[in-house]
Amino acid sequence: IQDPSVYVTFDLTEPDKLGLEPGAAFLVWTTTPWTLPYNVGVAIHPEFEYVAAKDEAGKVLILAKSLLTEVLGETAEVVKSFKGSELERVSYSPPFTEAYDAEGEGKPVWMSGLDTYVSDSDGTGIVHTAPAFGEDDMRLSRNYGFPVIVGVDETGKHRYGPWKGVFFRDANNAIVRELRERGVMWREKN
């Protein structure tokens, strides 16, 4: 079984801080949609160049400059450029909050952190971070004090949300559907 590859948008909560209009978002790519309910942050490479550019619908998306053409096409209008290091601790609203709601630890602030492990050979140069599911994710989360949510139990089943009790990968379709419903699915590849 292959996991679907999805591009999702995480709207910035204070876009004005970067001189961007409301609706501006991080564009994030992941091949493990089932980990998105446990997103706690995004990773950005401090040395890469990033741009905020308009997609066909006019939504402003932040991604690595080197991936702009591949992802948004030749004609995308760039509205602003940033060095990765300027995009540290930029807060956004995540697609899912169920796991946090259930843990009852209060609302964390979802935000970006910097790490040089981020690659620009595919994706968007902005990496979805879920500490329980990756070594790099865990390091970034520890460095920035992001909460560690272990969203899957020892039998591989989701512990939270509408997919509680579902085997981790079997929740992909339901999660993808939710992403569409929540209006954060930008593009799907299979």
- Residue 170's SS3 state is helix
Q: Which residues of 126-142 are buried (b: 16+ CB within 10 A; e: fewer)?
A: bbbbbbebbeebbbbbe
Nearest CB to ligand VAL, comparing residues 73 and 156:
156
The Cα–Cα gap between 44 and 92 comes to: 14
The Cα–Cα gap between 169 and 47 comes to: 34
Closest approach, Cβ 80 to ligand VAL, in A, equals 25
Nearest CB to ligand VAL, comparing residues 53 and 126:
126
Closest approach, Cβ 118 to ligand VAL, in A, equals 10
Token digits for 184?
Answer: 């954060």
Nearest CB to ligand VAL, comparing residues 102 and 132:
132
Closest approach, Cβ 75 to ligand VAL, in A, equals 28
What one-character DSSP code corresponds to residue 147?
Answer: -
Nearest CB to ligand VAL, comparing residues 20 and 28:
28
Kindly list the residues in this chain that would bind ligand VAL in the complex (CB under 6 A): 30-32, 35, 127-130, 133-134, 137
Closest approach, Cβ 31 to ligand VAL, in A, equals 6
Closest approach, Cβ 129 to ligand VAL, in A, equals 6
- 104 near 81, Cβ under 8 Å? no
Nearest CB to ligand VAL, comparing residues 27 and 127:
127
E strand segments, 115-173: 126-129
